[in-house]
Amino acid sequence: MKAAVVEAVVDRVEDGDKEKKKRRPRNRRPKQNPSTSVSCSSVNELHGEASPECLGNGTMENHVTTSLKQHHIGMSPPYEQGLTKASNLAFSSLPTMHIVESLDVQSPENQRLLPSDFGGKMFAKSCPEPAACGGSPGILTNKGSSPQRFEGYSQRKYFPPHWSMEDVNDALEKGDAFKALFRVNAHNRVEAYCKIDGVPTDVLIGGLAEQNRAVEGDIVAIKIDPLPLWTRMKGSAGACKSSAPVEDLNLNLEDTAVGYNCNGKAKVDEDCEYDSRTSYLLSERGSCSEESTYLRDSTHSEPIGQSCCDHAAGKYQLASDSSQAGSSSEQNVVKTPVERMCAIISSFPSKRPTGRVVAIIERSKRRDAVIGFLNVKKWISYREFCRKDMKKNKSLSYSDHEYIQMTPTDPRFPKMVVLVRNLPDAIKKRLENGDETIEKELFSARVDEWGEESLAPQALILHAFGHGTEVQPHIEAILFENAINSSEFSPESLSCLPRLPWEVPREEFQTRKDLRNLCIFTIDPSTATDLDDALSVENFFNGISRVGIHIADASYFVLPDTPLDEEAQSRSTSVYMTHRKIPMLPSLLSENIGSLNPGAERLSFSIFLDLNNAGDVVDRWIGRTVIRSCCKLSYEHAQDIIDGKFNSESFDTFKDGCPQIHGQFEWSDVIRSVKNLSEVSKTLKERRFSDGALQLDNSKVVILFDEYGDPYDSLFSERKESNSLVEEFMLLANITAAEVISRAFPDSALLRRHPEPNMRKLKEFEAFCSKHGLELDTSSSGRFHQSLERIREKLKDDSVLFNILMNYATKPMQLATYFCSGELKHKENDWGHYGLAVPLYTHFTSPLRRYPDIVVHRTLAAAIEAEELYLEHQRLLNNLNRGDKFKMRCFTGVHFDKDAAESRESQEALLAAAMKHRVPNTELLTDVAAHCNVRKLASRYVKDACDKLHIWSLLKKKEILLSEARVMGLGPRFMSIYIQKLAVERRINYDEVEGLMVEWLDATSTLVLSLGTDRRTFRRGSPGKWRALEDAALIVSPYDLQTEPSPAGKSSNEPSSNGCSLNSEVEPMVFPLTVRLLSTIPVVLHAVGGDDGPVDIGARLYMSSYLC
């Protein structure tokens, strides 16, 4: 039956494809729109947005003129698509074998048309003459108005109206629409992606009309296109040859994988959450070339959402129809709309879902903090012209329709219109004085209005940060953009903490286990100041090792519903910014009375695990304790102990720079404990991977700063065995805490889940490996890990390539998120953690820097107290001895006594404990989890943006940086390269460069670059703009290599481990240059933007020639 169903669907799809081809017009140039009688100066060919300078008389018709290829997705390199200069250098992602860009962009088959009134009509599809002057996309003016005047809305609607919330809720309930997070391709804003919960691949939203005014981060309602209109999945068999195969991944900005910083606390993140942000500087979304898709006209306005499923379920017989109503088994093939979607995707793995936005359910907070530059020069020139033209008026008043364009630094956001009359007075005054330096300053704005009649949103300026050439204004802008609270803690919050000097209250020794005589120590980064975890180990003669994981008891100080609790919840997480930290808790708590500092008595939450030689937990104890750490070890100290470099009898603590030992312990005790813990951790790690866990190790780039806080160099930081030592025990503690709180409070446990990878991206990575003879099995996390280990062995002589592959392997990983167990009460299969291959996981081990850990501490304390109450009741009821108490533990023990946990006595004890410790209910905890997810993601954005900013600052100081790069994508217009030195990806565009001849050998996927004449040949459909040779390559004379000249003619002898001077170990190549996929080539990196656009890192070829 299944075969028949699939065959029926195939037939229907083929019929649909044939019918679609019949409807396509012949390959001819469309007629000129009669209303467009003047030459168009500039058209944003990619975005389909009109320019205010578009008409020769300084006005623009009340319609939009677009290029034939403007809405074909990802078919051209960025500089042909009208992107800003800095956007051309945006990060790319995982490429395929080679780039083939032989598409005839004038062909109607490869055009994407915008409806003018959504009733079957179309916009003009081309400019009547080649563009004559530059323009800015997204701005409309009425005929006869100036280029810098915004005459309000026209009658034509460029976007369909949004559905009412009543209609949205009704459609969501019926399955006619789906709720999804709207994400934009940073390399190609005309592409967006929506992830529907439960659907294995994201939905492509291609075209500005389909995006319907949604912006990055919005929660939207989308309708799914009918199956025949879905595009080909990238890398699938039989994909359209006209589509460029180099399609960069749509990267999600999510959690970092086991990443640790060298500044501050930020050790392993304990949950192996691998995703697209594993390196300090990550790839932005690249453009994804898809099969040409078309906006539906009036004959194709229906089949979306539920109707799409009807095509599969009813007409295509994927589910029972009226003729099959008697078959109960067939009726159960698909049930929910999500299941129907999954069934279609499973049956057609080569097809990619597409859709359109019909409503914005929740507006992104990013709308309130868009960072960008004001393009004031054109407005100032326009005002000067008007001033000279008006003889009587020396001072001009502002028109209600005068505007200035704002270009966001984030390429995922559209260019916006800022009405001059709404500008702050200080900026207006500077404009009146003709101050063009405004254009070099960073501003924040709020998206104020975006109607159906406007191609560009209106914005209001909120704040000015300073000149873009300086680092500090960028840092302030990054913090503002991500809503990071960097202010001092309020007096009300600080009043919740005890005053110094502080000691552990005597009464705490009565209710806690006293562990001050146990050899306990911390292992952290050398610069860490918030020490929230410590370890201990005891070995017994029966082969059992009792490992103690001791976590700072922050919940003792951060009481529920206090000002300190509210502020900690609002901040949610500490934010690490390369060489600065914004704490979640006041330093008095996070670095002093709450931190497990050596030699000081501290309150802690401890988990003791009895482990046998196989790594099995045979017994455990969880409770509140008092500890005194005997020393603070760095990862380097611990690694030296593991490597046997420490001999307790042959070194002096102060002379050798080793930490001081406190209390009655000696170095021999610490060394023995570290070695024992190392052996146990190896067993746990081996056991974890045998159980199906996945680990994607990446080298991290660490930025070095001088005494003034300026970056001067960078180096790689490799993971050490000591990192794994700590990681294994933190993972085990988090898993243990998750088990206990989910047993005790199945509806109110704050857990953390990690979904399976993005299917589309995983297939792309799998196809990439396969094309290079590398076998990859991604059927499960365990097999994924094992196949990567086999690839590691196969590439043992090419560690650079393997490191690149490991970086790409993180791209398909999805975001790990917090959730309330009650929210997914009937979806326990969705609770699991893919990377760790465990059914339950949470965060327990970092309460000084993560608010969810504090919530888990409170819940765990309530579970322990409820268990004590229940066991005490049972002991009295059954006249048991206290020695039998631990054999009956129903929540914290290794074995779960479900009957005892569900008994009336146990439930009463749980209710009392939950009220005492303020365990939140399902609704409240769901909100807390959602807020923590947003804040955690924002903190990652800040760290990555600051890392990128400091590398930009480093390159700006050095002027250039020479490095070797690996070619990961190749085609006739551009190549994608990976620079191992900085762990970044870049593109080098060489199409339409003066003096550079490009020869693309399609049969062998080989590129040949050579110096040629200045003869220019314009490709049909190209913008006709040629770039200077220096934009694509730095060419030096062999004589210059001996005298070390810099590109500016100055000597560049500054020493650097990265080799910025021209006499470095990186040798230039010569013309003709032959490049193949995976070739190693020399490149030059340089800083881009700052005062004239977003900061970025540019890349060029490094060549040598006597002819230049």
pLDDT digits (tens, 9 = 90+) for 561-611: 999 999 999 999 999 988 889 999 999 999 999 999 999 999 999 999 999
Given this model, what pLDDT does residue 649 score?
64
* Higher per-residue pLDDT: 773 or 549: 549
**Average pLDDT score over the chain:** 77
Q: What is the mean pLDDT of residues 907-936?
A: 95
pLDDT value of residue 349: 85
Mapped to the 3 state alphabet, what secondary structure does 28-62 carry?
A: CCCCCCCCCCCCECCEECCCCEECCCCECCCCCCC
What local confidence, expressed as pLDDT, does residue 382 receive? 80
pLDDT in tens, 49-101: 333 333 333 333 333 333 323 333 333 333 333 333 333 333 333 333 333 33
Q: Is the pLDDT of residue 18 over 60?
A: no
Question: How confident is the model over 1096-1106, as a mean pLDDT?
Answer: 92
The whole-number average pLDDT for the span 755-779 is 89
Distance CA 669, CA 120 (A): 81
Residues 508-537 have a mean pLDDT of 95
Find the mean pLDDT for residues 785-795: 93
Per-residue pLDDT band for 631 (boundaries 50, 70, 90) equals very high
Position 898 scores a pLDDT of 86
Alpha-carbon distance of 203 to 182, in angstroms, equals 10
DSSP letters of 512-549?
Answer: SEE-TTS--EEEE-TT-----EEEEEEE-TTS-EEEEE
At 155, the pLDDT band (50, 70, 90 cuts) reads low
> Which pLDDT value is given to residue 929?
97
Per-residue pLDDT at 608: 97
- pLDDT at residue number 400: 67
Query: Does residue 765 have a pLDDT over 50?
Result: yes
Q: What's the confidence (pLDDT) of residue 59?
A: 34
pLDDT tier at 1042, thresholds 50, 70, 90: low
Identify which of 195-199, 242-246, 726-730 has the greatest average pLDDT: 726-730
- Model confidence at 250, pLDDT cuts 50, 70, 90, reads very low
Q: Assign 703 a pLDDT band (cuts: 50, 70, 90).
A: confident
Token pair recorded at residue 408: 């966001």
Most confident of 482-496, 710-724, 797-811: 482-496
User: Residue 197's pLDDT is what?
Assistant: 85
% of the chain surpassing 70 pLDDT: 71
Cβ(620)–Cβ(608) below 8 Å: yes
- pLDDT confidence bin for 346, thresholds 50/70/90: confident
Residue 978 CA, distance from chain mean position: 18
Q: Give the span between the Cα atoms of 479 and 475, in whole angstroms.
A: 6
Q: What is the pLDDT of residue 424?
A: 92
pLDDT of residue 478 exceeding 60, the answer is yes
Residue of 927, 932, 942 whose CA lies nearest to 752: 932
Average pLDDT on 500-516 reads: 95
Q: Is the peptide bond before 473 cis (omega within 30 degrees of 0)?
A: no
One-letter amino acid for residue 1050 of the chain = K
Q: What is the pLDDT of residue 328?
A: 40
Identify whether the C-beta of residue 810 lies closer than 8 Å to the C-beta of residue 278: yes
Residue 60's pLDDT is what?
35
Segment 615-643 mean pLDDT:
95
Q: What is the mean pLDDT of residues 177-183?
A: 94
Q: Are strands 513-514 and 631-634 parallel, antiparallel or unpaired?
A: unpaired
Q: What is the mean pLDDT of residues 426-454?
A: 91
pLDDT tens sequence across 802-858: 988 988 899 899 989 999 999 998 888 899 999 999 999 999 999 999 999 999 999
Count of CB atoms situated within 10 Å of the CB of 81: 24
Strand partners, 962: 1084
Query: Pick the residue with more confidence: 1051 or 350?
Result: 350
Residues 6+ apart with CB under 8 A from 302: none
* Integer Cα distance of 536 and 546 in angstroms: 8
pLDDT one-digit tens code per residue, 882-897: 555 445 678 998 888 8
* Nearest-10 Cα torsion for 440, 443, 449, 450: 50
Reported confidence tier of residue 1012, pLDDT bands at 50, 70, 90? confident
pLDDT of 21 reads 44
Taking the model in full, what pTM does it have?
A: 0.78
pLDDT value at position 41? 34
Over 80: is that where the pLDDT of 652 sits?
no
pLDDT confidence tier of residue 709, bands split at 50, 70 and 90? confident
The arithmetic mean of pLDDT across residues 960-980, rounded, is 91
Task: Give the pLDDT confidence score for residue 393 in this predicted structure.
Answer: 53
- Strand ranges, E, within 853-1002: 961-970, 974-979, 984-989, 996-1001
Identify which of 685, 749, 678, 1033 has the alpha carbon closest to the alpha carbon of residue 914.
749
What is the 8-class DSSP label of residue 1099?
E
CA–CA dist 1100, 1108 (Å, integer): 16
Q: Per mean pLDDT, which range of 316-330, 514-528, 1006-1020 is the poorest?
A: 316-330
Residue 265 has pLDDT above 50, yes or no: no
| pLDDT at 520 > cutoff 70 | yes
